[in-house]
C-alpha cells in the first residue's frame, strides 16, 4: 500500500493537534512549521479536514485549529478516505492501455484480489485511532506490536 503525501501530511497535522492540551490550538503557520510544509499546503489540508468535521477553526488572536472530536474517536480509515485521491472504486477508470478501456472490465480475475486487499487495509485502518499515533516512534511501534500479538493470539 502506498500512502500519498497528502494522506501522510494530513495525518501528521492531525497528530500535531492530538498532542495539544484541552483548549489549546495551533495556527496555520505553526502547523506548517512543525511539519515542514508550506502554509498553503497546510491550509489546504486544514480546509479539507475542517470541511469533513475532523478539525475546527477558531478565529481571533487566540484562535487556531484544534480537533473537533476526541482523538480516540477518529479512525485512520476515516481520515484516509477524506484525503485519498485514488479511490479503489475507480481503479478500472484509470486504464492506461492502447484501447479505449480495459479488455477485462466484464470479467477480471485481478479485480477481486485488489478489492480484497483494499478491504483488509481498510479494516486494519478502521481499528487504529488518531490517539494511538501520539507518542514517540518507539512507543507507537511497541503499542502496535502488542496489538498484533493480541490479534494473533485471538485469531483475529
Q: What tens digit of pLDDT does each residue of 38-78 get?
A: 999 999 999 999 999 999 999 888 889 999 999 999 999 99
Which pLDDT does position 103 carry in this prediction? 63
Instruction: Name the residue with cell 515542514.
Output: 36
Proportion of the chain above pLDDT 70, given as a percent: 79
List the end-to-end C-alpha distance of the chain, in Å, as a whole number.
Answer: 21
Cβ contacts of 10 within 8 Å, gap of 6 or more: 45, 48, 49, 79, 82, 83
Confidence label for 146 from pLDDT (cuts 50, 70 and 90)? confident
Q: Is residue 21 scored above 60 in pLDDT?
A: yes
Distance CA 156, CA 140 (A): 20
Which pLDDT does position 127 carry in this prediction? 87
Length of the chain (residues):
156
**In the numeric block, which cell numbers belong to residue 79?**
481520515
* Per-residue model confidence as pLDDT tens digits over 85-121: 555 455 565 556 656 666 666 777 877 787 788 888 8
Distance CA 14, CA 110 (A): 35
| 24 or 99, higher pLDDT | 24
Which residues are paired to 1 by β-bridges?
none
Confidence label for 149 from pLDDT (cuts 50, 70 and 90)? low
**Among candidates 90, 94, 80, 92, which has minimal Cα distance to 130?**
80
**Vertex 33, ends 47 and 46: CA angle to 5°?**
10
Which pLDDT does position 155 carry in this prediction? 52
Distance CA 38, CA 42 (A): 6
- Calculate mean pLDDT across residues 142-155: 63
DSSP 58: E
Burial 45-55 (b: 16+ CB within 10 A, else e): bbebbeeeebb
Residue range 5-153 forms a domain whose CATH class is mainly alpha
Domain ranges of the chain: 5-153
Amino acid at each position: 500500500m502506498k500512502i500519498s503525501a497528502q494522506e501522510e501530511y494530513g495525518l501528521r497535522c492531525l497528530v500535531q493537534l492530538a498532542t495539544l492540551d484541552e483548549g489549546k490550538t495551533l495556527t496555520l503557520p505553526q502547523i506548517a512549521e512543525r511539519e515542514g510544509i508550506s502554509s498553503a499546503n497546510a491550509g489546504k489540508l486544514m480546509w479539507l479536514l475542517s470541511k469533513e468535521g475532523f478539525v475546527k477553526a477558531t478565529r481571533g488572536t487566540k484562535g487556531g485549529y484544534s480537533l473537533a472530536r476526541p482523538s480516540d474517536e477518529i479512525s485512520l480509515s476515516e481520515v484516509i478516505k477524506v484525503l485519498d485521491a485514488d479511490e479503489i472504486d475507480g481503479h478500472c477508470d484509470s486504464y492506461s492501455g492502447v484501447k479505449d478501456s480495459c479488455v477485462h472490465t466484464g470479467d477480471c480475475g485481478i479485480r477481486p484480489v485488489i478489492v480484497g486487499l483494499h478491504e483488509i487495509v481498510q479494516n486494519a485502518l478502521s481499528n487504529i485511532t488518531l490517539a494511538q499515533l501520539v507518542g514517540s516512534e518507539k512507543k507507537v511501534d511497541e503499542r502496535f506490536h502488542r496489538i498484533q500479538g493480541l490479534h494473533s493470539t485471538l485469531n483475529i
